[in-house]
């Protein structure tokens, strides 16, 4: 443990007090945090806390609706990143700043409406779209699935288990749409179609290449040919009345997202003609998981607006620096990480640069919470780990190994490690607000994010300039 100042929660309100405490400790205990802060203040520090706060606040704002891959909020986030990278003077990779990749599904990819005479059901609290729904609008009378004749009808199913199989069976008998009558809550976690696949699934390779056991979890995400909605118990009366009277009902499922997303690229060409075809990748995923079952925004401020804010600051700092690293630095903001590392896996499967030319991959995911001195470093390279640890210690971090195996396997580092690329992943770790509505920008430790950015900046300079490339270490290792 280093000086007790690192145990304080930092905020603007206590900053003046902090500095006083820090100076005292500099004299008394030689706090690493304070020394680094002083050094940064003396040099010109291109990493600024105000910019980090502004980036994170925008990315985690309600306007971006949780940056769900395939949804408008994620596109707004990607466009914002491109504007920033352009303004720093970086270049796109090849022709474009964003490279698209396909996804099996998108979360919450549709909205639904059920019109029964004068009644319209469209509130998410009473009507939702299961992940396997098709898209479209149908008008027809409604019958229960227990009827023998369902041809040309909308079929109502008493839902529960095997909903997709039951719907498929009704479609086979001629149903034009399906209404699932749910017993309890209308929202089912399976509706969002969000699965973290471990190991990540290579969608382009097709089902034959998928690991065993994956097909079952994926089957529920494959869209049917007709629209399907699920309705809450309290909304079923108008449906039952429609069944009784035989009137035509209109069921609509409208797509609001796309089954594709993008990775965002910014390239800083290396200064050394002999080394500029080698790359250091600096990455952070910009997507999050959208809305919760009640339609509330999951802001994803720590996960991972924090990492992206630091990523932008590192990009800006290196682009504006007079001394460019000798190797090229490739900044990549990953898309669709939350669906199972889809963007980074797509990159590694069809890399726009030779993977053999990647000297190192540095990734940040969730770096803005927990105690100020806590930073986990998971590396698939002893050299990279040593360089990361040295840089992190200079910026006030006492490193811990806790959580490493989870982290390196559950973020965009993973596909690189699988392919033998020297990789390091930085995180401050999981917390109670993870994937909840409370992961908001005001709870971020901006000072901590800035120190991670400075750590990554120093590390990137080091790896970008060193004569020798880091070597790959097969077993992810950690340091404390």
Token pair recorded at residue 418: 């699988």
Which parts of 162-191 interact with Zn ion (CB under 5 A)? Answer: none
Token pair recorded at residue 142: 């409604």
Task: Mark residues 85-124: x for contact with Zn ion by CB under 5 A, - for none.
Answer: ----------------------------------------
| SS3 of 98-134 | EEEEECCCCCCCEEEEEEECCEEECCCCCEECCCCCE
Nearer to Zn ion, 289 or 459 (CB): 289
| Residue 304 is a binding residue for Zn ion (CB under 5 A) | yes
Smallest gap, in angstroms, from Cβ of residue 373 to Zn ion? 21
Backbone phi, psi, residue 35, to 5°? -60, -45
Task: Mark residues 42-81: x for contact with Zn ion by CB under 5 A, - for none.
Answer: ----------------------------------------
Smallest gap, in angstroms, from Cβ of residue 221 to Zn ion? 21
Q: Where are the beta strands (DSSP E) in 224-259?
A: 228-231, 248-255
Nearer to Zn ion, 365 or 404 (CB): 365
User: Residue 480 and residue 478: Cα distance in Å, rounded?
Assistant: 7
Token pair recorded at residue 425: 């992943």
Question: Which of these ranges, 223-231, 299-307, 424-432, 471-479, lies near Zn ion under the rule CB under 5 A?
Answer: 299-307
User: Residue 427 and residue 377: Cα distance in Å, rounded?
Assistant: 7
Smallest gap, in angstroms, from Cβ of residue 79 to Zn ion? 20
| Residue 365 is a binding residue for Zn ion (CB under 5 A) | yes
Question: Which of these ranges, 77-85, 130-138, 361-369, 381-389, lies near Zn ion under the rule CB under 5 A?
Answer: 361-369
What DSSP string runs through 175-214?
Answer: -SEEEEE-SS-S--GGGG-----SSPP-GGG-GGGSPTTH
Smallest gap, in angstroms, from Cβ of residue 300 to Zn ion? 8
| Residue 303 is a binding residue for Zn ion (CB under 5 A) | yes
Q: How many residues does the chain have?
A: 480
The H-assigned helical ranges of 263-403 are: 307-320, 342-349, 382-394
Smallest gap, in angstroms, from Cβ of residue 35 to Zn ion? 31
Nearer to Zn ion, 304 or 478 (CB): 304
| Residue 412 is a binding residue for Zn ion (CB under 5 A) | no
Q: Which residues bind Zn ion (CB under 5 A)?
A: 303-304, 365
């Amino acid at each position: 443990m280093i000086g007790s100042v690192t145990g304080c929660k930092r905020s603007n309100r206590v900053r003046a007090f902090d500095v006083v405490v820090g100076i005292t400790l500099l004299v008394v205990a030689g706090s690493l945090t304070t020394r680094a802060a002083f050094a940064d203040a003396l040099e010109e520090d291109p990493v600024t806390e105000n910019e980090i706060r502004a980036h994170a606040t925008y990315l985690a704002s309600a306007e971006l609706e949780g940056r769900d891959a395939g949804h408008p909020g994620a596109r707004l986030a990607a466009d914002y990143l491109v504007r920033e990278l352009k303004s720093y003077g970086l270049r796109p990779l090849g022709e474009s700043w964003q490279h698209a990749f396909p996804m099996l599904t998108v979360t919450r990819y549709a909205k639904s409406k059920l019109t029964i005479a004068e009644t319209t059901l469209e509130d998410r609290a009473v009507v939702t779209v299961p992940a396997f729904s098709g898209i479209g609008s149908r008008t027809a009378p409604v019958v229960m699935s227990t009827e023998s004749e369902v041809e040309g009808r909308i079929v109502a199913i008493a839902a529960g288990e095997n909903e997709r199989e039951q719907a498929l069976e009704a479609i086979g008998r001629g149903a034009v749409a399906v209404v699932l009558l749910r017993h309890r809550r209308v929202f089912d976690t399976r509706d969002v179609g969000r699965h973290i696949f471990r190991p990540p699934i290579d969608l382009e390779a097709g089902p034959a290449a998928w690991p065993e056991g994956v097909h079952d979890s994926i089957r529920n995400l494959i869209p049917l040919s007709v629209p399907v909605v699920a309705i809450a118990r309290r909304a079923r009366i108008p449906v039952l009345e429609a069944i009784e009277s035989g009137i035509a009902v209109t069921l609509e499922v409208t797509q609001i997202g796309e089954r594709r997303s993008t990775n965002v690229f910014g390239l800083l060409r290396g200064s050394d003609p002999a080394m500029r075809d080698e790359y250091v990748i600096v990455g952070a995923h910009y997507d999050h998981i959208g809305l919760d079952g009640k339609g509330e925004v999951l802001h994803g401020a720590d996960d991972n607006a924090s990492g992206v804010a630091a990523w932008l600051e590192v990009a800006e700092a290196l682009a504006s620096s007079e001394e460019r690293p000798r190797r090229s630095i490739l900044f990549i903001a990953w898309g669709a990480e939350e669906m199972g590392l889809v963007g980074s896996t797509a990159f590694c499967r069809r890399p726009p640069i030779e993977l053999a030319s990647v000297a190192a991959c540095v990734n940040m995911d969730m770096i803005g919470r927990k105690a100020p001195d806590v930073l986990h470093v998971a590396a698939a390279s002893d050299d990279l780990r040593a360089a990361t640890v040295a840089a992190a210690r200079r910026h006030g971090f006492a490193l811990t190994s806790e959580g490493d195996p989870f982290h390196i396997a559950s973020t965009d580092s993973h596909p690189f490690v699988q392919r033998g690329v020297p990789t390091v992943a930085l995180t401050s770790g999981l917390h109670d607000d993870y994937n909840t509505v409370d992961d908001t920008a005001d709870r971020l430790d901006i000072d901590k994010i800035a120190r991670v950015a400075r750590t990554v900046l120093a590390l990137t300079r080091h790896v970008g300039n060193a004569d020798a490339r880091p070597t790959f270490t097969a077993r992810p290792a950690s340091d404390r």
